[in-house]
Amino acid sequence: MSCRTNSYNLPISHKLSTKSPIFYYSSNSTLNCRAHSISSHEATQTSSHPTNLFNIKFQTLEDCKLGIGSYPDFEYDANGGIGSATGKFHGFNPTEEIFALFDLEKLYIPPLTGATTRFLGLPLPPFLKIDIAPEIFQGSINRASGKVELQFRAKFWFSTGMIYRAPPLMVETILTSEESKGSLRSGKGERLDKEGKCRLVGVATVDPIDDVIMNSFLSLPTECIAELSAQIFITTAG
């Protein structure tokens, strides 16, 4: 018994066809081929899911706290802070997590001054100021569960008028509506409510800087904590 493979030469018109071939088996198990044109309905089904875009507005409120090391917390009124972001998720389910990327040029967080901050019940001295310069602000917001997790990195600039300005302290943490816990500091946030209000908490390690006075005064390296009351508004773009 011998076996051989047969080769078939297709007509040129078949080779140049722009239609998609579909193969199927008939009842006598022979292989058949027919040309099939993809309808507009099928093309829509096979295309990738569109990306839904959102406009996100972020506001900081009063009743915030900032703390470093073993010092008592600063009572911080961050009312007036504002930021905007573009958010998106893939798919059609509106309960999925939205990824928010904030525009740093439009992000403003009020400085710690005598007008916004109290320490041990007293306003900060008029000459003392701590500016906050964000470098990264992005993360996830889940509209269904209310869970928020935002990566935050910023430089904190300490100054006393025109006399002294220390090198910046770099702080990087995840501001979360859940629990944030370090070896020295810890806190628990609150998820988004129906009005979009939440409380975000983040613990971070602050490394020493090139300044002997600040390193000694703050006992660097050490931990710091931020507790921010905020309100988040999400609307569909376009």
Give 109 or 52, the one with higher predicted confidence: 109
Q: What 3-state class would DSSP assign to 216?
A: helix
- At residue 17, the pLDDT reads 40
Distance (Å, rounded) from C-alpha 207 to C-alpha 70? 15
Strand partners, 136: 153
- At residue 51, the pLDDT reads 54
Of the candidates 166, 143, 60, the one whose C-alpha atom is nearest the C-alpha of residue 107 is 60
Distance (Å, rounded) from C-alpha 123 to C-alpha 191? 30
pLDDT at 125 over 60: yes
Instruction: List pLDDT tens digits, range 80-91.
Output: 999 999 999 855
Number of residues that this document lists for the chain = 238
Mean pLDDT estimate for the chain: 83
Give 92 or 59, the one with higher predicted confidence: 59
Written as one letter, the residue type at 56 is I
Instruction: List pLDDT tens digits, range 151-164.
Output: 999 999 999 988 99
Confidence of residue 174 (pLDDT cuts 50, 70, 90): very high
Written as one letter, the residue type at 159 is S
Written as one letter, the residue type at 54 is F
Spatial contact of 117 and 76, defined as CB atoms under 8 Å apart: yes
- At residue 41, the pLDDT reads 43
Task: For the chain, state the CA radius of gyration.
Answer: 29
Confidence (pTM): 0.77
Of the candidates 172, 151, 50, the one whose C-alpha atom is nearest the C-alpha of residue 101 is 151
Q: Where are the domains of the chain?
A: 12-46, 52-236
Range in 45-54, 73-82, 104-113, 224-233 with the lowest mean pLDDT: 45-54
- At residue 89, the pLDDT reads 81
Confidence of residue 99 (pLDDT cuts 50, 70, 90): very high
Give 35 or 179, the one with higher predicted confidence: 179
- Quick one: which H or E segment has residue 42? helix 40-46
- At residue 91, the pLDDT reads 54
Confidence of residue 66 (pLDDT cuts 50, 70, 90): very high
pLDDT at 115 over 50: yes
Spatial contact of 118 and 103, defined as CB atoms under 8 Å apart: no
- At residue 178, the pLDDT reads 98
SS percent in the chain: helix, strand, coil, step 5? 10, 50, 40
Confidence of residue 203 (pLDDT cuts 50, 70, 90): very high
Q: Cα 218 to the chain's mean position, in Å?
A: 30
Give 143 or 41, the one with higher predicted confidence: 143
pLDDT at 35 over 80: no
- At residue 129, the pLDDT reads 97
Name the pairing type of β-strands 128-142 and 97-102: antiparallel
- At residue 9, the pLDDT reads 41
Written as one letter, the residue type at 189 is G
Angle at 71 between CA 69 and CA 77, to 5 degrees: 105
Residues 6+ apart with CB under 8 A from 225: 65, 66, 67, 68, 73, 180, 182, 185, 186, 187, 201, 202, 203, 204
- At residue 13, the pLDDT reads 39
Q: What are phi and psi of 148, to 5 degrees?
A: -130, 135
